[in-house]
Amino acid sequence: MAAKALKANRLSDGEAVWLSRTGIWETRVTLARVEEDADGIAALEDAARTATADCIVVDAELIDMEIRDGAPVPSKLKERIRALGPTVRLDLGKQAEPESRLGKVA
């Protein structure tokens, strides 16, 4: 089974977020909770339903993940772009933010 993480957009401002291991919606994909077995993935799906119902996030979806150099990385280009920012504007998006500016949701 492919490794999965849960991505979403924060409802209030649309910021791309990922569910973290601590249950917090983080703005950095490197902090995403990655699950590989059926129970873990089911837990992610439960979290998606709850956070959506609580109006914390919108468009919550499971995405395929890979571990590269010990860090979780989205498998698909679209999700890597979501995680970093536009490839044509390296000054924008998360790729432009200092690591200290970790945003948290809920």
Q: Is 54 helix (H, G, I), strand (E, B) or coil?
A: coil
Structure-token match 């996030």, residue found: 57
Residue closer to another protein (CB basis): 46 or 54: 54
- Strands ordered across the beta sheet of 16-19: 71-74, 57-68, 3-10, 16-19, 25-26, 104-105
The answer to the question of residue 55 lying near another protein (CB under 8 A) is yes
CA-to-CA distance for 6 and 52, rounded, in angstroms?
A: 12
Least Å distance, CB 104 to another protein, is 17
The answer to the question of residue 98 lying near another protein (CB under 8 A) is no
Q: Which stretch binds another protein (CB under 8 A): 24-32, 33-41, 42-50, 82-90?
A: 82-90
* Contact call for residues 63 and 4 (beta carbons, < 8 A): yes
Q: Which stretch binds another protein (CB under 8 A): 24-32, 36-44, 72-80, 97-105?
A: 72-80
Tokens of 3: 């490794």
Least Å distance, CB 92 to another protein, is 6
Q: Which residues bind another protein (CB under 8 A)?
A: 9, 11-16, 52, 54-55, 58-59, 75-78, 81-82, 85-89, 92-93
